[in-house]
Amino acid sequence: MHMFRNAAFIAALLCGGSLLAGNQIVVITDGAGGCTYGGIKVQIFDDNGTPGDPGDDSQIGIDYYVCNGAPGAKGDQGDPGVKGDKGDQGDPGLKGDKGADGLNGLACWDIDGDGIMDEEEDINADNFWNTVDCIGAPGMTGPQGDPGEKGDPGEKGDKGDPGDTGPTGADGLACWDTNGDGNMDEAEDINGDESWSTLDCIGATGMTGPQGPAGPQGDKGDKGDKGDTGDTGPQGPQGDTGATGSVGEQGPTGAPGAPGDDGKTALVKTTDEEPGDNCATGGKKIETGLDNDGNGTLNAEEIDEKKTFYVCNGDTGTDGTVGASALVVTTDEPAGEHCPNGGFKLETGIDANGNDELDEGEVTEGSARYVCNGTTADKIEVTGGGGCSLTLL
């Protein structure tokens, strides 16, 4: 507030040019309340008491305003003024009162600003509306601006009072969470150790770069002094075997050897197999082996377990009729491809026509098995001239 005693220029404005009385004062204050573009407010008082103290004065008339005109058009930019000297550091201002909490801001994914999680706002279609949906395409790099002039360093200001603690931020995304859903998905356990950690964030090893050019060859070094004689080395490996000599003349045929013992007879034992693990509907159990004791019977200890097999009955039909029986036919096998010393040929099949005989058309293809006789001798020795002998086992 400013007070002017006998302010003739104010009186001329307010009172048509007449001057104020000697005991009157003019008070001028900011006219913001009555002026659109700013100005001053003028009040006139009778100075009834202590000079310069408006507290006991009485106002004459109403409030008058001297207002600024509307802003004119913006003038041309003036030339920059000369840089003034740096002013003294001002005292820190008092800490202001904490302002009222602002309104909740819009989430970055809320494109239409309605606060609703719309389907088209879930950019990565993971049924979560979060910062992952806010990642836009990288913008183009702007042109490099001209460097500004370096200003004088300012004086270090006083440390301000600590601000209020801000709200806790949202949880960040883990480096292994490639789809940003916060779940430990099996595909995100890169190293397969059933633990989701920074070890799953290590990228694949890059390809080996090309080999650099060979450097220039260095100067040849000085010839070193002759070293001491070394220890004798180990004996070298044996040389290659020499070429085989020519085959000598064949010696005379030796005398026939004594006849060997008769080979052991192969036997086959066929028994009924009750329904169970081996044949669900029963069938035949076929056991084979060599007649070691020559009694013509396949004893239990003579059975070759590896050559025991089963010929099972067919399943019972849904109409309750009895399934066709499995049959085995045994025939002599002459000495040849299958049995060098002869034996037995076993063939199996289903008795389709029920005549209790395994006809040629009923034999199962590929079911033939052979039980062969042993060799006629365990060893034959033939001795010829010149000290040469031949042994057949």
**In the chain, what are the domain boundaries?**
2-67, 266-372
pLDDT band at residue 150 under the 50/70/90 scheme = confident
Q: How far apart are CA 250 and CA 246, in angstroms?
A: 12
pTM reported for the whole predicted model: 0.22
Weakest mean pLDDT among 65-79, 132-146, 371-385: 371-385
Using an 8 Å Cβ cutoff, are 372 and 343 in contact? yes
Rounded percentage of the chain residues whose pLDDT exceeds 70? 79
Residue 343 pLDDT? 92
CB 197 within 8 A of CB 189: no
Q: From CA 264, how far away is CA 377, in angstroms rounded?
A: 10
Band of pLDDT at residue 9, cut at 50, 70 and 90: very low
φ and ψ of 233, to 5 deg = -75, 165
Looking at mean pLDDT, say which of 145-154, 187-196, 284-293 comes out highest.
Answer: 284-293
Which residues neighbour 280 within 8 Å (Cβ) at sequence distance 6 or greater?
Answer: 312, 315
Which amino acid does the sequence have at 3?
Answer: M
User: At residue 229, does pLDDT exceed 80?
Assistant: no
Q: Which two tokens stand for residue 387?
A: 């000290």
Q: Are 273 and 285 spatial neighbours (Cβ–Cβ below 8 Å)?
A: yes
Does pLDDT of 104 surpass 70? Answer: no
Three-state SS at 29: strand
Distance CA 46, CA 22 (A): 9
Q: Which residues pair with 259 in a beta bridge?
A: none
Q: CA-to-CA distance for 362 and 347, rounded, in angstroms?
A: 10
Strands 24-30 and 2-5: antiparallel
Q: Which pairing describes strands 343-350 and 369-372: parallel, antiparallel, or unpaired?
A: antiparallel
- Asked if residue 315 lies in contact with residue 336, where contact means CB atoms within 8 angstroms, the answer is no
Q: What is the pLDDT of residues 111-138, one digit of tens each?
A: 888 888 898 888 889 999 888 878 766 6
Cα three-residue angle 377-379-385, rounded to 5 degrees: 125
Phi-psi region of 16 (alpha: psi -120 to 50; beta: other; left: phi over 0): left
**pLDDT value at residue 54:** 59
